[in-house]
Amino acid sequence: MLRPLAGTFKPDDYPDLLVGLEPPDDAAVWKLDDSRALVLTTDFFTPVVDDPYDYGAIAAANSLSDIYAMGGKPFLALNIAALPPDLPPEIGAEIFRGGAEKAREAGVVIAGGHTVQDKEPKYGLVAIGFVDSVKMLTKSGAKVGDALVLTKPLGFGVTTTALKQERADPADVSEVVGWMIRLNEKTSQLALEFGVKAATDITGFSLMGHGLEMAKASGVGLKIEFSRLPFVSCAQKYARMGAFPGGAFDNKHFYSRDVKIDSKLDEASEMLLYDPQTSGGLLLSVPPANLSALIEKAAQIDQPAWVIGEVVSGSGIRIV
Ligand code: CO
Ligand code: CO
């Protein structure tokens, strides 16, 4: 479907577009001068939780995440919303309030937006930020020997699907909401401080899909240790109930041919690798010399960071 874009816009005609038309990345980057660039992204989706305020906050955190995944600092945003005509106005107001307060926490002002009517609610942001084009984080900067660090646990998709099926425990939902509303801001700053060149955020295409994008863009392979992967406490429970969203099966269908699994993983555990995340963490490719300093600083600032594997030569993902 995106082919007409490639046919219409030739990268050579836009020398100031540093990231956009070439292999996929988290956000578009437009050069302003030798070091400063604008970073631009948009994202919106249907409700993942019942509480309208939390939904707005999650959608905003998720929209800003693509700017953090580039090492950028967002400052300005617009709302994009679709709301059912019969939705009580106070519900819509709570969605916008959740988004606005999350944006303000990030130092971002929401200066306007556009709303249409639609049967199913949709909400998100268009966001713009500044990035240092010399230090920016892309999917293509991973080097063999780098450590792979993940900054939020996995299992959000299976938990929010269990919620939609009315099978989720409220305590589990609040655990997952607590993660989804977290900004990836501190992680992005850590990455810049410790010389990380490659990062991406883990969202709808799962750890496997986004990991493969990074591997491909960098011309490397990823080796991930399953036992080191962080999961929310309820992930296995809902995985065993089979509460995976359709996107998990799509992800497995598209990506499994490039994923090799060494040990015999049970089916539920394997599916968790393909679980689509909403507002997931960043996957960082950390130069080995800076790893222990990054992990130490992360602990000091209360930012979880799990070492899950390493960048290896070759291609694809190997799960050991
Ligand atoms: Co992204
Ligand atoms: Co996105």
From first to last of its 320 residues, the chain has per-residue pLDDT tens of 888 888 899 999 999 999 998 778 999 999 999 999 999 999 999 999 999 999 999 999 999 999 999 999 999 999 999 999 999 999 999 999 999 999 999 999 999 999 999 999 999 999 999 999 999 999 999 999 999 999 999 999 999 999 999 999 999 999 999 999 999 999 999 999 999 999 999 999 999 999 999 999 999 999 999 999 999 999 999 999 999 999 999 999 999 999 999 988 999 999 999 999 999 999 999 999 999 999 999 999 999 999 999 999 999 999 99
Which pLDDT tens digit goes with each residue over 126-165?
Answer: 999 999 999 999 999 999 999 999 999 999 999 999 999 9
Phi–psi pair at 64, nearest 5 degrees: -70, -20
- Which ligand is closest in space to the CA of residue 125? 2
**152 CA distance to ligand 2 centroid (A)?**
16
Same domain, 128 and 215: no
- Which ligand is closest in space to the CA of residue 184? 1
Same domain, 171 and 209: yes
Same domain, 105 and 241: no
- Tell me which residue range forms the domain holding 218: 147-319
What's the token pair of residue 178?
């607590």
Same domain, 70 and 164: no
141 within a domain of the structure (yes/no): no
| End-of-domain residue from the set 100, 132, 164 | 132
Same domain, 190 and 307: yes
- Which ligand is closest in space to the CA of residue 62? 2
**217 CA distance to ligand 1 centroid (A)?**
14
Give the CATH number of the domain where residue 78 resides: 3.30.1330.10
**263 CA distance to ligand 2 centroid (A)?**
32
Same domain, 107 and 255: no
What is the reported pTM?
0.97
Look over the chain and give the mean of its residue pLDDT values, rounded to a whole number: 97
Same domain, 195 and 154: yes
139 within a domain of the structure (yes/no): no
Same domain, 251 and 169: yes
Q: What is the bridge-based pairing of β-strands 122-132 and 282-286?
A: unpaired
What does the DSSP 8-state code read for residue 255?
H
- Which ligand is closest in space to the CA of residue 209? 1
94 within a domain of the structure (yes/no): yes
44 vs 80: CA distance, rounded Å: 7
**239 CA distance to ligand 2 centroid (A)?**
24
pLDDT score of 6: 83
**48 CA distance to ligand 2 centroid (A)?**
15
Cα dist from 87 to 118, 164, 232, 299, whole Å: 10, 19, 32, 43
pLDDT score of 263: 81
**69 CA distance to ligand 2 centroid (A)?**
10
Same domain, 156 and 302: yes
On the CB side of 49, how many CA atoms lie within 13 Å of its CA? Answer: 27
Question: Based on the structure, what is the number of domains in the chain?
Answer: 2
Same domain, 38 and 103: yes
| End-of-domain residue from the set 86, 108, 132 | 132
**17 CA distance to ligand 2 centroid (A)?**
18
Contact 27, 74 (CB under 8 A): no
112 within a domain of the structure (yes/no): yes
Same domain, 201 and 128: no
Same domain, 258 and 300: yes
46 within a domain of the structure (yes/no): yes
pLDDT score of 23: 78
179 within a domain of the structure (yes/no): yes
214 vs 51: CA distance, rounded Å: 34
Contact 40, 175 (CB under 8 A): no
| End-of-domain residue from the set 80, 100, 132 | 132
**202 CA distance to ligand 1 centroid (A)?**
7
138 within a domain of the structure (yes/no): no
**66 CA distance to ligand 2 centroid (A)?**
6
197 within a domain of the structure (yes/no): yes
**54 CA distance to ligand 2 centroid (A)?**
19
**CA quadruple 83, 87, 89, 90: dihedral, nearest 10:** -110
Give the CATH number of the domain where residue 156 resides: 3.90.650.10
- Which ligand is closest in space to the CA of residue 213? 1
